[in-house]
Amino acid sequence: MTEKEFFLQHRDKETQDWYRTRPASVKKAILSCPPDECYRGKDGKGHYILRSYVERKGEPTRLTMVHGRDSFWPGTIVFGMPPEDLKICGCGKWRPPTKQQIAATKGDRPK
């Protein structure tokens, strides 16, 4: 995605102002992994939604992702994922995990 495409998709001032204040390395991650898409691993596994961009001075930008209900670890949060390990899925069918899936992930039994 180009910067122009990003601004066409995100016309609200808050998002545009937020983007403008990010360092160059984070802007690159935002353009390669826009905040409003669903993703799969380049290996075809997982179905994720972006939770946050991780900005640490002097380190590469990483992502915090959440597995969806049709992923292999529903509801599990993945920290420090490199943007280059993901591809945009774009199916629009990412859904949050069910209560039962969350309970199973935590090791609890659904009630």
Residue by residue, pLDDT tens for the chain (111 residues) are: 888 898 888 888 998 899 999 988 899 999 999 888 999 999 988 999 999 999 888 889 999 999 999 998 898 899 999 999 999 998 989 999 998 888 887 765 445
CB 73 within 8 A of CB 65: no
Which pair of structure tokens corresponds to residue 82?
């490199």
- pTM of the predicted model, to two decimals? 0.81
Contacts of 40 (CB under 8 A, 6+ apart): 46, 47, 48, 86, 87, 89
Backbone phi and psi for residue 50, each to the nearest 5 degrees, phi listed first: -75, 130
**What residue spans define the domains of the chain?**
3-106
Name residue 63's beta-bridge partners.
Answer: 53, 81
Query: What separation in angstroms does the CA of 93 have from each of 6, 46, 100?
Result: 21, 13, 19
